Structure 1
């Protein structure tokens, strides 16, 4: 028989749990600050002995976080956040931010590389464990990509999608813009990293996608400019990474994952599979945001980025499927399953990030 006894939490247990989380936050915050100081250290690799105490303490916390995030069934949220922030601080050095040139002094640091590799090794194993890779290798890749793209082009509305469309407040919309600006203000940057090399139709299609994202070389038409205009409508910060501290680890993980895939040419198929999903599924999400903005009676400038993307990404999704993914599947038949792996990972991680964003919006409202 089901008990009707209501168990109230022990006040001492709640207090202890809260204090534990506070100590953990402080521990990770301190370690991240130590890492930021190391990043700014001139000629880092050659003065590690001088900074031994700081390095050793950072590495101790790094090891704790890796165990807590990836070797623990429940996964520690704070550990995930710390690791993805550290990884992003390393990865962002692969882009140019038009800031102080001294910020790039350690961009090829072997020590930073070792930190990145240590996090990525544990993290990527954890991510891959969530997908049946063996099953993917048995699929008819071209047929699966066509079917997945068709299903993801206009999926049924989820509860989170309905919330955004029907309930999200203007404060929630501003919070959405703040988090989305993390990618929206530097859109297309990672795609640019895979375009060099031999010329063929696939490369030219990818260049066309990038050119449209970059406004065909006109700043006024660049997609990031449209995003900045949305922020300006609310008097918000238009500087890249201006709301970095609001970004959930799930969103950071998507960015870091794409840094990895574009860094390694061996992952070229995985990246393009993921980009295919991103371009195919994008309009569905943007329609939700546009519907919310229209319901709230916002100005055209406050929603222009979504309108632009709905039109252009529908075309980009078709290009990515027909002119990139399917031709690559033909060119690399033995490895074509990696396109599906990239597609499925991008969907899995994107759905996880979208859920985290909605949770963050609800808390902010």
Structure 2
């Protein structure tokens, strides 16, 4: 049994629209969180060229700055979303992050071949869904939920920034997939709400960013990636590639998690979230492959390499986050920060 933290229980009011500011973990995050707290953004530090691109200080700072474009923070002036000094710092952080990703991810320019390779269902694997299918514990999967909450409680939002950057069939079909992510017009079926229901059923804090102070830099980076792609028109190809990769690979992994949760006799709300994705994402895969990516490449063939980059960057960072979690569990330790 993992030495799971005893303080995973809900502590925040899930109905609060804007979350509290996170705890700083280094000089960059300390400067930005201080500026947001006071409204005084002058004198923010320069981003050193040798800062660790996947370090927690950079990733938390970037996450905090991106959050100004989502729900913001309690007590922070909404006007700071477009503050020039904060945007300058964000861009400097993004340059470091993006340069690292461009160097770490092998380039490619054939989205169809990439999607074909992703569509071949593996018979074995080492990621979290494989681990939980056969051997992971309830305490460990609760930690997994805490990590994943940073994405799933904003599921669909980062990629929605790409909508005005698409045209024609790609736009129409992309919106159709997002419509499903947002519950098909029903608030109780919005995937973000289904995740909040899962968290509550698991005895976890369902509030937005409830675990931001507990997750690793690697987990933060996976959400920062989609925010960066979504917020930059120049990276619209990467945003679509990222979303397509999620939809193509989600269904088999969700099926394994359903099997693992049933093995653990988990609450039905936990099973339901992943069962919903087994069905929905199998359909979304075909839409994304043919009607979104296919149409986009037909209209803007110069985006093909960035589409592949978005797919491979997702895989790269997801693997790092998964390896960090699994290594901790196999040592009998918690994957969460104190």
Shorter-chain TM-score: what band? 0.7 to 0.9
Query: Is structure 2 residue 202 aligned with structure 1 residue 200?
Result: no
Q: How far apart, CA to CA, are the structure 2 residues paired with 1:327 and 1:39? A: 41
Point out the more displaced range, 120-129 or 86-95.
Answer: 120-129
* CA gap 1:124/1:295 in 2 versus in 1, 3 angstroms: same
Q: How far apart, CA to CA, are the structure 1 residues paired with 2:232 and 2:224? A: 13
TM-score, structure 2 length as denominator? 0.84
Deviation of the 1:150 alpha carbon: 2.2
Query: Is structure 2 residue 124 aligned with structure 1 residue 123?
Result: no
Q: How far apart, CA to CA, are the structure 2 residues paired with 1:145 and 1:117? A: 29
Q: Deviations over 1:161-187 (max 9, x none)?
A: 443222211111211111111111111
**Aligned with 2:314 (options 327, 346, 349):** 346
Q: How far apart, CA to CA, are the structure 1 residues paired with 2:223 and 2:111? A: 26
Query: Paired residue for 2:50?
Result: 67
Q: Check conservation: 1:276, 1:343, Cα contact below 8 A.
A: yes
Q: Check conservation: 1:145, 1:321, Cα contact below 8 A.
A: no
Q: Deviations over 1:187-234 (max 9, x none)?
A: 111122121267511111111111111112221111112111111113
Query: Paired residue for 1:35?
Result: 32
Query: Is structure 2 residue 333 aligned with structure 1 residue 359?
Result: no
**Aligned with 1:88 (options 63, 66, 80):** 63
Secondary structure in structure 2 of the residue aligned to 1:290 = helix
Point out the more displaced range, 213-222 or 31-40.
Answer: 31-40
Query: Is structure 2 residue 126 aligned with structure 1 residue 156?
Result: no
Greater Rg, structure 1 or structure 2?
Answer: 1
Q: Structure 2: which 5+ residue stretches go unaligned? A: 1-22
How many positions carry a matched residue from both structures? 310
Query: Paired residue for 1:147?
Result: 116
Q: Structure 1: which 5+ residue stretches go unaligned? A: 1-25, 71-78
Secondary structure in structure 1 of the residue aligned to 2:312 = helix
Q: How far apart, CA to CA, are the structure 1 residues paired with 2:235 and 2:28? A: 31
Secondary structure in structure 2 of the residue aligned to 1:309 = helix
* CA gap 1:168/1:132 in 2 versus in 1, 3 angstroms: closer
Query: Is structure 2 residue 94 aligned with structure 1 residue 111?
Result: no
Query: Paired residue for 1:75?
Result: none
Point out the more displaced range, 261-270 or 101-110.
Answer: 101-110
Secondary structure in structure 2 of the residue aligned to 1:269 = helix
Higher RCO, 1 vs 2 (CA within 8 Å, ≥6 residues apart): 2
TM-score, structure 1 length as denominator? 0.78
Q: How far apart, CA to CA, are the structure 1 residues paired with 2:178 and 2:126? A: 33
Query: Paired residue for 2:11?
Result: none
Q: Deviations over 1:12-44 (max 9, x none)?
A: xxxxxxxxxxxxxx99446533421111223x3
Q: Check conservation: 1:287, 1:310, Cα contact below 8 A.
A: yes
Q: How far apart, CA to CA, are the structure 2 residues paired with 1:178 and 1:169? A: 14
Query: Is structure 2 residue 270 aligned with structure 1 residue 302?
Result: yes
Deviation of the 1:146 alpha carbon: 4.2
Counterpart mapping for 1:46-65 below 5 A: 48=42, 52=43, 55=44, 59=45, 62-63=47-48
Secondary structure in structure 2 of the residue aligned to 1:149 = helix
Q: Cα RMSD over matched residues?
A: 2.4
